[in-house]
């Protein structure tokens, strides 16, 4: 064949291959209209958290603990979030800055680098900690990952400006880097004054310290640093970004355990939206967290997947292919095949107090699905001797319910508001103000 003809032939073959390969892909990725109609929610059966995979019933706390809980944990790990490495034994901490007169004397501030490989090699996360200056120490602490860098949680010029990649649409971010204009941009979600006044500390880390939130083929962040797979082939149950951000929450707690000003047995992990998903997964795995709070976490967080209301498994995997492990894609459009649902993720936190919060206008996150998942966890909480969720029906708007499972749906949109924080502080007071941390065996 003459060279030109060969070139044309090659191009034809290539085009045919491209068409063939992209067709199923296009069919799969064509955005489906989200369903917001209750009448169109598919009929589904929720798996019973108190029945083992081999259909044996779970009748006592010991069977839950030794058999069912590990079974469920492994299922979520394999099919959804992926497997994260264990705590590195070379973890080290370095206090970058501390001030016992911060925020006009109201707070102790600390900024601590947590080096994952024990080296100052860029593989670290920076934890920002504020503690009430006047409270009796050690104090309980809310640990809350942030979206825009530690400098964005308060108008405090002493907070180190993050130098990492940051999402492009945030205030003051230029070329995916923070500028001075970024300071305090996320402050409305971190009412530090309210938290300190209630006697709690706040610890926060930028989730992008663990893994930048875009699909980079798992080259950057902790994936790049820790992954070494046989022949470079990434297993279908390798950790996604949510698992990495959750792993960071546990590393933050590793540090907090060493801080004499902090009561590490009373650390409340709270996260919003994708970081609410993160909080639930971290809290499910790491039983050191005394309370776990999911704020508007939606699909892949507190909301039941099988309802396919608002954001669906296919929609989330399509928009964020790096969030979950590859196995989770098998359930795109096939929620009925999921051998678990998110009520069982919440149940993994039992008997420790857990709080699920929704917002009326946050239909994308399926508030009803979030409530039903909290309710679906209730039998496990009761088996373990707690009061579980004290209601069977979804409460009215702005009528919080605080059992061992807490729930509220507030008016307004997808966000974290002072109202939400008032509930979280009241919930934490209720469970942690006694001498013995709740859920302590
Ligand atoms: C949305 C996503 C949600 C939620 C949210 C957020 O785009 O579909 O699952 O995580 O982002 O994190 O703000």
439 pLDDT above the threshold of 70:
no
- Which residues have CB under 8 Å from 371's CB, separation 6+? 356, 358, 394, 407, 409
Q: How far is the CA of 277 from the centre of ligand 1 (A)?
A: 10
In this predicted structure, the answer to whether residue 5 has a pLDDT above a threshold of 60 is no
Angle at alpha carbon of residue 213, lines to 208 and 214, rounded to 5°: 140
- In the predicted model, is pLDDT for residue 436 greater than 60? no
Angstrom distance (rounded) from CA 154 to CA 183: 7
Residue 19: pLDDT band by 50, 70, 90 thresholds? Answer: very low
- pLDDT band (50, 70, 90) for residue 307: very high
Report how far apart the first and last C-alpha atoms of the chain are (Å, whole number). 78
Q: Is the pLDDT of residue 16 over 90?
A: no
> Which of ligand 1's atoms lies nearest the C-alpha of 272?
12
Ligand 1: residue of 281, 302, 311 to mutate (most ligand atoms within 8 A of CB) is 311
Q: How far is the CA of 297 from the centre of ligand 1 (A)?
A: 8
- State the Rg of the chain over Cα: 23
Distance 364 CA to ligand 1 centre (A): 9
Q: What is the pLDDT of residues 126-141, one digit of tens each?
A: 999 999 999 998 999 9
Residue with more model confidence, 147 or 14? 147
State which ligand 1 atom lies nearest to the alpha carbon of 301. 9
SS (H, E, C) 73-84: HHHHHHHHHCEC
For ligand 1, whether the C-beta of 311 sits within 6 Å is: yes
- Given a cut of 80, is residue 239 above it in pLDDT? yes
The whole-number pLDDT of residue 12 equals 53
What integer pLDDT is reported at residue 2 of this predicted model? 54
Asked whether 208 and 182 are in contact (CB, 8 A), the reply is no
Q: Match 């013995």 to its residue by tokens.
A: 436
Cis status of the peptide bond prior to 371, with omega within 30 of 0: no
Distances in Å between the alpha carbon of 115 and those of 84, 89, 148, 199? 17, 11, 20, 29
Check: CB of residue 187 under 8 Å from CB of residue 172.
no
DSSP 92-146: EEEEEEEEEEEGGGTEEEEEEEEETTSSSSS-EEEEEEEEESSSPSSEEEEE--B
Q: Around Cβ 76, how many Cβ atoms within 10 Å?
A: 21
Q: Which atom of ligand 1 is nearest to the CA of 298?
A: 9
Degrees, nearest 5: CA angle 330-84-344: 60
For ligand 1, is residue 272 a contact (CB within 6 Å)? Answer: no
User: Interior CA angle at 60 toward 59 and 63, to 5°?
Assistant: 95
Rounded mean pLDDT of 376-381?
98
> Degrees (nearest 5) of the Cα angle 166, 172, 174?
60
Q: What is the mean pLDDT of residues 62-88?
A: 98
Which active-site residues does the annotation give? 273, 414
**pLDDT at residue 11 tops 80:** no
pLDDT of residue 17: 43
- Give the C-alpha separation, 433 to 436, whole Å: 8
State whether the beta carbon of 124 lies less than 6 angstroms from ligand 1. no
Q: What is the pLDDT of residue 352?
A: 98
Q: Look up tokens 């860029």; give the residue.
A: 122
The closest of 417, 304, 308, 423 to 355, measured between CA atoms, is 423
Q: Which atom of ligand 1 is closest in space to residue 414's alpha carbon?
A: 13
- In 3D, which of 317, 403, 298 has the Cα closest to residue 358? 298
Q: Are 275 and 429 in contact (CB under 8 A)?
A: no
For the segment 391-407, what is each residue's pLDDT rounded down to a tens digit? 999 999 999 999 999 99
pTM attached to this predicted model? 0.92
Res 236 pLDDT > 80: yes
Q: From 275, 243, 287, 224, select the one nearest 82 (Cα to Cα).
A: 243
Percent of the chain with pLDDT over 70: 91
Question: Treating both helix axes as pointing N-terminal to C-terminal, what angle do 69-76 and 274-285 enclose, rounded to 10 degrees?
Answer: 140
Position 438 confidence tier, pLDDT thresholds 50, 70, 90: very low
Residue whose C-alpha is closest to residue 77's, from 233, 235, 221: 235
The CA 377 to ligand 1 mean position distance, Å, reads 23
Residue 298: CA atoms inside 13 Å, Cβ hemisphere, count? 25
Quick: pLDDT tens for 146-199: 999 999 999 999 999 999 999 999 999 999 999 999 999 999 999 999 999 999
Query: Which two tokens mark 406?
Result: 């807490």
Q: Of 145, 279, 320, which is best to mutate to test ligand 1, by the most ligand atoms within 8 angstroms of its C-beta?
A: 320
CA of 148 to the centre of ligand 1 (A): 14
* pLDDT over 60 at 246, yes or no: yes
Ligand 1, from 240, 298, 357: best to mutate by most atoms within 8 Å of Cβ? 298
- Measured CA to CA, the distance from residue 24 to residue 186 in angstroms comes to 41
Instruction: Tell whether ligand 1 has an atom less than 6 A from the beta carbon of residue 298.
Output: yes
Q: Is 274 in the pocket of ligand 1 (CB under 6 A)?
A: yes
Query: For strand 405-410 and strand 92-102, is the pairing parallel, antiparallel, or unpaired?
Result: unpaired
């Amino acid at each position: 064949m003459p060279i030109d003809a060969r070139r044309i032939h090659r191009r034809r073959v290539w085009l045919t291959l491209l068409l063939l390969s992209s067709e199923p892909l296009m069919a799969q990725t064509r955005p489906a209209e989200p369903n917001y109609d209750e009448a169109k929610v598919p009929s589904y059966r929720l798996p019973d958290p108190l029945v083992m995979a081999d259909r044996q019933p779970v009748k006592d706390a010991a069977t839950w603990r030794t058999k069912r809980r590990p079974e469920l944990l492994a299922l979520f790990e394999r099919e959804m979030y992926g497997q994260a490495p264990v705590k590195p034994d070379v973890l080290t901490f370095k206090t970058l800055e501390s001030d016992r007169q911060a925020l006009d004397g109201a707070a102790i501030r600390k900024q601590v680098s947590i080096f994952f490989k024990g080296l100052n090699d860029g593989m670290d996360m920076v934890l920002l900690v504020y503690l009430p200056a006047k409270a009796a120490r050690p104090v309980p602490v809310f640990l809350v990952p942030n979206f825009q860098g530690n400098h964005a949680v308060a108008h405090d010029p002493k907070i180190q400006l993050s130098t990492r990649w940051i999402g492009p649409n945030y205030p003051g971010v230029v070329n995916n880097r923070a500028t001075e204009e970024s300071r305090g941009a996320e402050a409305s979600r971190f009412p530090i004054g309210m938290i300190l006044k209630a006697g709690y500390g706040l610890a926060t880390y930028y989730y992008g310290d663990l893994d930048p939130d875009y699909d980079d083929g798992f080259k950057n962040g902790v994936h790049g640093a820790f992954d070494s797979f046989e022949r470079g082939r990434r297993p279908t149950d390798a950790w996604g970004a949510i698992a990495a951000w959750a792993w960071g929450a546990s590393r933050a707690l590793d540090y907090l355990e060493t801080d004499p000003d902090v009561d590490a047995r009373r650390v409340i992990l709270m996260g919003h939206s994708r970081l609410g998903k993160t909080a639930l997964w971290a809290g499910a795995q790491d039983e050191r967290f005394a309370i776990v709070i999911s704020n508007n976490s939606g699909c892949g967080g507190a909301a039941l997947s099988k309802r396919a209301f608002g954001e669906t498994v296919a929609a989330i995997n399509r928009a964020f292919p790096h969030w979950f492990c590859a196995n989770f894609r098998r359930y795109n459009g096939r929620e009925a095949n999921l051998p678990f649902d998110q009520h069982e993720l919440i149940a993994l936190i039992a008997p420790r107090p857990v709080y699920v919060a929704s917002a009326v206008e946050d239909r994308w996150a399926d508030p009803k699905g979030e409530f039903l998942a909290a309710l679906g966890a209730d039998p496990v909480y009761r088996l373990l001797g707690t009061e579980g969720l004290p209601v069977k029906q979804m409460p009215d708007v702005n009528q919080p319910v605080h059992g061992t499972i807490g729930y509220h749906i507030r008016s307004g949109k997808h966000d974290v508001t002072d109202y939400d924080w008032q509930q979280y502080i009241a919930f934490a007071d209720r469970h942690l103000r006694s001498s013995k941390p709740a859920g302590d065996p």
